[in-house]
Each structure stands twice: as C-alpha cells, then as structure tokens.
C-alpha cells in the first residue's frame, strides 16, 4: 500500500504542485488501505480521464467544491488552475471572472449555454440527488450519455471526499488557503 500511496502523492503533486499539508488527505484515507486501494482506480479515471473534456471536468469539480464548502477540493483544483502557467492539465485555466462565476453558479449570465447546462446539472444533482426534466434535456443537448454519467460520478465522488476529510477532521495546517483565499 505504501507504493500505491506514493503513486497517489506523486500524481497529486504532478497535477497540482506542492500541496504541503493537503497531502494529509491521502494519508487519512490510507488508514483503511483496502478501501483506498478499491477507490483509487475510480478516482483516477474520473479525475484524470474519461469522456468529459478537462475544462468541463474541472468546472464540475470546482462547483461541487464550492457547494460543499470543501477547502481541500477547492484549493487542489481552483488554485492550481489559476496560478500555473498554462493552467492545470495542459490548458485548464480559470480567470478571476470565471472563479466568480463558479461561485455564483449556473445563473451567472457569463456562462455559455453548454457551461450553464453543466453547472445546472451539478447544482441539482448535488442538492437533490436528481435532475428535473428541463435540466436533463439541456444536458442531453450539449453532452453525450457517458459525459452526463461522469458528471454524476464526479459530483458524488468530490462531495464524498470533502465530507470525509471534514468529518475526520483532517488537518491541513494553518497556512492552507482554502475557500477564504479564492
């Protein structure tokens, strides 16, 4: 398991840069090595691959982080995407305006219809565990079935991570920027 955890930390560092005490998240999860080993393949697939383009995937994760008030998810996705040359994952970069839009959500008038549909799906699925017919229709007009399924997996997974680290009182230290330094 130490090798697997090392691989996870290396991937986190590669994708997000040095995270300092944010690395306590995988260390916390490693307290249950069998569960961590079972979860890693799913996490790796939905976080770094899959059918959703990188920008769409990061929008889903960022909005989920905001809705759940998850400093870990926010800082490990928004912060690198704002502060690295070329953005995260070779091109995902959120401007200050986009970060403000992510916080407002799908009702912000600056979103394209495609982005607004995606974020409406995130909001409804996060809050209700379901989507109304209009949201589903808008998603189907802009995304294929695999992408919509991934949206639901991303929301569920990143909500779970935020809830677990909060509930287990994972220590990220006093210098962890979190949501206050959006």
pLDDT by residue (tens digit) across 156-182? 999 999 898 888 877 766 655 555 443
Distances from the Cα of 106 to the Cα of 16, 51, 56, 182, angstroms: 26, 21, 13, 18
> SS3 sequence, the chain?
CHHHHHHHHHHHHHHHCCCHHHHHHHHHHCCCHHHHHHHHHHHHHHHHCCCCCHHHHHHHHHHHHHHCCCHHHHHHHHHHHHHCCCCECCCECCCHHHHHHHHHCCCCCCCCHHHHHHHHHHHHHHHHCCCCHHHHHHHHHHCCHHHHHHHHHHHHHHHHHHHHHHHCCCCCCCCCCHHHHC
State the pLDDT confidence band at 62, using cuts at 50, 70 and 90: very high
pLDDT given at position 182: 39
Question: What's the number of domains the chain is made of?
Answer: 1
Q: What is the pLDDT of residues 97-129, one digit of tens each?
A: 888 899 999 999 999 999 999 999 999 999 999
pTM above 0.85, yes or no: no
Of the ranges 22-26, 139-143, 177-181, the best mean pLDDT one: 139-143
In which domain, by residue range, is 62 found? 2-181
CATH number at residue 91: 1.20.1290.10
Token pair, residue 3, equals: 């090798």
Mean pLDDT along residues 149-158: 96
Judge whether 61 and 154 are in contact, CB under 8 Å: yes
Q: What is the model's pLDDT at position 3? A: 44
Task: Give the Cα separation of 144 and 78 in Å (integer).
Answer: 25
91: its two tokens? 């091109």
The pLDDT value recorded for residue 11 is 53
């Amino acid at each position: 398991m130490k090798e697997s955890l090392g691989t996870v930390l290396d991937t986190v560092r590669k994708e997000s840069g040095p995270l300092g005490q944010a690395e306590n998240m995988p260390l916390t999860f490693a307290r249950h090595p069998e569960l961590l080993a079972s979860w890693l393949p799913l996490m790796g697939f939905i976080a770094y691959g899959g059918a959703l383009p990188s920008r769409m995937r990061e929008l889903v994760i960022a909005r989920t982080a905001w809705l759940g008030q998850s400093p870990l998810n926010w800082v490990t996705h928004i912060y690198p995407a704002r502060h690295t040359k070329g953005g995260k994952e070779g091109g995902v970069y959120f401007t200050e305006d986009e970060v403000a839009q992510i916080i407002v959500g799908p009702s912000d008038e600056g979103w394209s219809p495609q982005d607004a549909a995606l974020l409406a799906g995130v909001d409804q699925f996060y809050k209700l565990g379901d989507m109304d017919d209009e949201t589903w229709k808008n998603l189907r007009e802009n995304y294929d079935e695999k992408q919509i399924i991934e949206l639901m997996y991303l929301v569920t997974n990143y909500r779970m991570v935020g809830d677990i680290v909060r509930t287990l009182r994972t220590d990220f230290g006093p210098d962890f920027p979190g949501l206050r330094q959006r």
